[in-house]
Amino acid sequence: MSMRSSLTGQNLGKYRVLEPLGSGGMARVYRGYHPQLDRFVAIKVLRSDLVEDELFLTRFRREAQAVASLRHPNIIQVFDFDVADDIYFMVMELLDGDTLHTRLNDYRVRDEQMPWGEMVRILLDVLDGLNYAHQEGMIHRDIKPANILLTRRGQAVLADFGIAQIVGGTRHTVSGALLGTLNYMAPEQGLKGVSDVRSDLYSLGVVLYEMLTRRPPFDADTPLAILLKHVNDPLPLPSELNPEIPAPLERIVLKALAKEPDGRFQSAPQMAEALKTAAAEAHIALPSRISLPLSFSTSDDPSDSVAVFSGTARQKLANVAFAAEDTAATSQQSVTAALAALKAQEPPVESVRVETAVAEPKKPSAWPALFRGFGLLILVNAAVVMFSGAAGAGWFFRTGWPIELMLVAVAFAQLMIHLGSPWLMIPGGLLLGESVLLSYYALSGRWNDWVFLWPLQVFLVFGVLWFSITRAAVSGEPAALADSWGRTLLRLAYGAMGLLVVLVVLVNFLS
């Protein structure tokens, strides 16, 4: 299927394709219907030339499952993902409302300013969704007004998590994708394709800048010129463009748009708390919900909202004009090649040293994680010694000694999170699994059971090795994967230690 062909009237699996809603560099969006559930949905069909790449297919299967697992009121819900007749598609909830892109354009047409409280409420909703996604190890990478939906429920909802993650690891350069996002892209993301939590917050800072001043901070005739401005140019003060902007909100923008990631907000909750403090300081009343679309959203019926999905406001779904800028995503690993091609087409830029614009990230030290992990090992052992001494015997060590292996697994989990290396799941997972097996032998005293339980050791070793190697080797986001796995390993280890302590106490006091 090419991007020009239409699927209107056809079936994709169990979904009936109705009319198109929008199109972009990576996908075309249709309104669809699920007859069994009697539910209208949005169907995002991925470009056919992308799915010819085996690397893309691997990423689609892995990342689509991760995106579909996200459950948050401020993130658009992905219901399903599937392939039918070599057509890869994702099924999402269909929302009524405007995109923030459309809402800002409406204010520009009216020559009016979005209320300060409305801005803060929108950002707080987005930050709530981002915080959840970041905790799940997901980075959006393409935050812009066109990907923020303002719904009839009065909420701001983040869209296009799926496309940003799935296409983000491919090597395809799509016409329009780079052009549509550089205005909102963090310097390190545009220059080197490196993105993390702070890159998302930078993009959201650009969105706030545009809401305050009705224009993005950096603009130019070419994509490369826009990127170089993000990297090198000082930020134009919002108050110079609009003197009425409250000073506390301007301070939020200045911190969010710091050139170096370490100078920005380090997490979504930190930025949200700063926004609430700034609103209180500026005596800005925060609405409980976002207002409905502006009165002139449709000329025929001024009271009507406009049905959109990651696209500009459309008056009639059946006669829709596609808007690529609202559904384009960013191809992260192709940025370097795209910039090289753009650079070759442009006259040389004097007095700019791109290679020194973004500092190389420092290699994290393992010492903090080692101190935390093995410090816990020492503290737990000291506590056990005191407890056993008070009880008059060393019975805890006789049956509860596998807790030592669990504590070492905790240390490896700390290292995995701190160093961003998912490969540390191998020793950490093996130690935790081994400690659980040994706990059974130590508590029951049935060491002879090893004769027929030894295959469990083999399954454990090969299971951990297979899981870690197959997942880590193809991961486009090793740091995010390591963070997610490390936190999961920590939860399992702490749960296993708590259960072991309870069982040791029960066994020894009841025997």
- Helices and strands per DSSP (H, E), number in the chain: 19, 9
Q: Reply yes or no on whether 449 is catalytic.
A: no
User: For 94-217, where are the E strands, in sequence order?
Assistant: 97-99, 148-151, 156-158
User: Which residue in 78, 75, 46, 52 sits closest to 65, CA to CA?
Assistant: 78
Where does 327-472 show beta strands of DSSP type E?
Answer: none
Sign of CA dihedral 349, 353, 357, 363: positive
How far apart are the C-alpha atoms of 324 and 276, rounded to whole Å? 34
Q: Which two tokens stand for residue 495?
A: 């749960």
Q: What are phi and psi of 140, to 5 degrees?
A: -75, -55
CA–CA gap between residue 345 and residue 432 (Å, rounded): 56
Of the candidates 211, 163, 149, which has an alpha carbon nearest to the alpha carbon of residue 184?
211
Distance CA 306, CA 316 (A): 8
* Two tokens, residue 271: 């930025």
Q: Which is the catalytic residue, given 128, 142, 196, 483? A: 142
Environment class of residue 369 by beta-carbon count within 10 Å: exposed (0-12), middle (13-18) or buried (19+)?
A: buried
- Distance, in Å, from the CA atom of 78 to the CA atom of 158, rounded to the nearest integer, reads 12
What's the chain's Rg over C-alpha atoms? Answer: 27
Q: Is the distance from CB of 91 to CB of 76 less than 8 angstroms?
A: no
Long-range contact set of residues 107-114: C-beta below 8 Å, sequence gap at least 24: 107/214, 107/294, 108/214, 109/296, 110/294, 110/296, 113/214, 113/242, 113/244, 114/211
Contact (CB, 8 A) for 474 and 58: yes
Q: Are 180 and 150 in contact (CB under 8 A)?
A: no
Active site residues: 142
